[in-house]
A and B are shown apart, each in its own frame.
Chain A
Amino acid sequence: MRYFKLPDLGEGLPEAEILEWNVKEGDEVKVDQILLSVETAKAIIEVPSPQDGTIAHLFGSPGDTIHTGEPLLEFAGESEQDTGTVVGELKQQATADNGGGEQFFIGASPSSRQYRDRQVSPAARALARRLDIDLGTVPQRDGRVTAQEVELAAERAQRRGPFEPLRGVRKQMARTLAAAWEQVVAVTLHDDADIEHWPAGTDITLRLIDSLAYACRHEPALNAWFDGEHLAIRRHRQLDLGVAVDTEQGLFVPVLRNVGERSAEDLRAGLDRLRKDVRRRSIPPAEMLGATLTLSNFGMFGGRYATPTVVPPQVAILGAGRIRTEAVVFEGVIQARRRLPLSLTFDHRAATGAEAAHFMQLVVTRLQETTGSDPAT
Chain B
Amino acid sequence: MMSEPICLLEAVNLALARALEDDPEVILFGEDIGRNGGVFRATDGLAQRFGAHRVADTPLAENMIAGTAVGMATQGMRPVAEIQFMGFIFPALEQLICHAARLRHRTRGRLSCPMVLRAPYGGGIHAPEHHSESTEALLAHIPGLRVLIPSSPARAYGLLLGAIRSDDPVIFLEPKRIYRAGRTRVEDNGQALPIDRCFTLREGADLTLIGYGAMIPECLAAAELLAERGIDCEVIDVAALNPIDYDTLLASVSKTGRAVIVHEAPGKGGVGADISALLGEQLWGRLRAPVIRVTGLDTVMPYYRNEQHYLPGVSDILDAVDKSLEAGRDEILQATGSG
Which residue numbers of A lie inside 8 Å of B, CB to CB?
8, 12, 14-15, 67-69, 82-86, 89-102, 104-113, 115-117
Indicate if the CB atoms of B152 and A84 lie closer than 8 Å.
no
What's the least CB distance linking B8 to chain A, in Å?
A: 9
Asked if A112 meets B234 with Cβ closer than 8 Å, knowing A84-B186, A99-B184, A104-B199, the reply is yes
Besides the known contacts A96-B182, A115-B255, 16 further A-B residue pairs in the complex with CB atoms under 8 A apart:
A15-B194, A82-B185, A84-B154, A86-B154, A90-B202, A93-B182, A94-B220, A95-B182, A98-B182, A100-B5, A102-B154, A105-B203, A107-B200, A107-B247, A115-B250, A117-B282
The verdict on B201 contacting chain A, using a C-beta distance below 8 Å, is: yes
Indicate if the CB atoms of A112 and B152 lie closer than 8 Å.
no
Indicate if the CB atoms of A97 and B202 lie closer than 8 Å.
no
6 residue pairs bridging A and B, Cβ less than 8 Å apart:
A85-B187, A93-B182, A98-B184, A106-B197, A108-B200, A108-B251
The verdict on B61 contacting chain A, using a C-beta distance below 8 Å, is: no
Which of A67, A94, A112, A117 is close to B216, meaning CB atoms less than 8 Å apart? A94
What's the least CB distance linking B286 to chain A, in Å?
A: 9
What's the least CB distance linking B254 to chain A, in Å?
A: 4
The verdict on B178 contacting chain A, using a C-beta distance below 8 Å, is: yes
Residues of B within 8 A of A116 (CB): 247, 250-251, 254
Indicate if the CB atoms of B5 and A108 lie closer than 8 Å.
no
Asked if A107 meets B197 with Cβ closer than 8 Å, knowing A93-B224, A97-B183, the reply is yes
The verdict on B153 contacting chain A, using a C-beta distance below 8 Å, is: yes
Indicate if the CB atoms of A69 and B255 lie closer than 8 Å.
no
Indicate if the CB atoms of A106 and B193 lie closer than 8 Å.
yes
Indicate if the CB atoms of A84 and B184 lie closer than 8 Å.
yes
Indicate if the CB atoms of B191 and A109 lie closer than 8 Å.
no
Residues of A within 8 A of B333 (CB): none
Residues of B within 8 A of A98 (CB): 182, 184
Residues of B within 8 A of A108 (CB): 198, 200, 247-248, 251-252
Residues of B within 8 A of A93 (CB): 182, 217, 220-221, 224
Residues of B within 8 A of A115 (CB): 250-252, 254-255
Residues of A within 8 A of B153 (CB): 102
Asked if A101 meets B185 with Cβ closer than 8 Å, knowing A95-B217, A106-B193, A107-B200, the reply is yes
Indicate if the CB atoms of B220 and A111 lie closer than 8 Å.
no
The verdict on B192 contacting chain A, using a C-beta distance below 8 Å, is: yes
The verdict on B30 contacting chain A, using a C-beta distance below 8 Å, is: no
Residue count of chain B within 8 Å CB distance of chain A = 47
Nearest 9 A-B pairs (CB), nearest first? A115-B254, A84-B185, A109-B203, A95-B217, A105-B200, A102-B154, A95-B182, A108-B251, A112-B251
**Contact flags B214-236 to A (C-beta < 8 A → 1, else 0):** 00110011001001000000100
Closest chain A residue to B185, Cβ basis: A84
What's the least CB distance linking B319 to chain A, in Å?
A: 20
Of residues B153, B199, B237, B250, which shows the largest number of chain A Cβ atoms within 10 Å of its Cβ? B199
Indicate if the CB atoms of A117 and B250 lie closer than 8 Å.
yes
What's the least CB distance linking B220 to chain A, in Å?
A: 4
- Alpha-carbon distance between A97 and B183 when the two chains are bound, in angstroms: 6
Closest chain A residue to B181, Cβ basis: A95
Closest chain B residue to A98, Cβ basis: B184
Closest chain B residue to A110, Cβ basis: B203
Residues of B within 8 A of A91 (CB): 202, 224, 227
What's the least CB distance linking A17 to chain B, in Å?
A: 15
Which of B152, B205, B224 is close to A102, meaning CB atoms less than 8 Å apart? B152
- Alpha-carbon distance between A94 and B216 when the two chains are bound, in angstroms: 8
What's the least CB distance linking A134 to chain B, in Å?
A: 23
The verdict on B245 contacting chain A, using a C-beta distance below 8 Å, is: yes
- Alpha-carbon distance between A117 and B286 when the two chains are bound, in angstroms: 12
What's the least CB distance linking B160 to chain A, in Å?
A: 14
Residues of B within 8 A of A84 (CB): 2, 154, 184-187
Closest chain B residue to A119, Cβ basis: B282
Indicate if the CB atoms of B254 and A117 lie closer than 8 Å.
yes
Residues of A within 8 A of B183 (CB): 97, 99
Of residues A97, A110, A112, which shows the largest number of chain B Cβ atoms within 10 Å of its Cβ? A112
Residues of B within 8 A of A92 (CB): 220
What's the least CB distance linking B118 to chain A, in Å?
A: 20
Which of B189, B194, B217, B247 is close to A94, meaning CB atoms less than 8 Å apart? B217
- Alpha-carbon distance between A112 and B178 when the two chains are bound, in angstroms: 29
- Alpha-carbon distance between A92 and B5 when the two chains are bound, in angstroms: 15
Residues of A within 8 A of B295 (CB): none
What's the least CB distance linking B247 to chain A, in Å?
A: 6
Asked if A104 meets B200 with Cβ closer than 8 Å, knowing A67-B194, A117-B282, the reply is yes
Residues of B within 8 A of A89 (CB): 203
Closest chain A residue to B5, Cβ basis: A99
The verdict on B151 contacting chain A, using a C-beta distance below 8 Å, is: yes
The verdict on B158 contacting chain A, using a C-beta distance below 8 Å, is: yes
- Alpha-carbon distance between A14 and B181 when the two chains are bound, in angstroms: 30
Residues of B within 8 A of A100 (CB): 5, 184-185
Of residues A94, A101, A102, which shows the largest number of chain B Cβ atoms within 10 Å of its Cβ? A94
- B6-45 contacts to A, CB under 8 A, are none
The verdict on B165 contacting chain A, using a C-beta distance below 8 Å, is: yes
What's the least CB distance linking A68 to chain B, in Å?
A: 8
Closest chain A residue to B182, Cβ basis: A95
What's the least CB distance linking B166 to chain A, in Å?
A: 10
What's the least CB distance linking A118 to chain B, in Å?
A: 11
- Alpha-carbon distance between A105 and B186 when the two chains are bound, in angstroms: 16
Which of B151, B165, B185, B248 is close to A107, meaning CB atoms less than 8 Å apart? B248
Indicate if the CB atoms of A111 and B193 lie closer than 8 Å.
no
- Alpha-carbon distance between A111 and B217 when the two chains are bound, in angstroms: 23
Residues of B within 8 A of A95 (CB): 178, 181-182, 217, 220-221
What's the least CB distance linking B243 to chain A, in Å?
A: 14
- Alpha-carbon distance between A67 and B162 when the two chains are bound, in angstroms: 13
Indicate if the CB atoms of A90 and B184 lie closer than 8 Å.
no
- Alpha-carbon distance between A110 and B252 when the two chains are bound, in angstroms: 10
What's the least CB distance linking B83 to chain A, in Å?
A: 25
Indicate if the CB atoms of A109 and B252 lie closer than 8 Å.
yes
What's the least CB distance linking A57 to chain B, in Å?
A: 13
- Alpha-carbon distance between A173 and B183 when the two chains are bound, in angstroms: 73
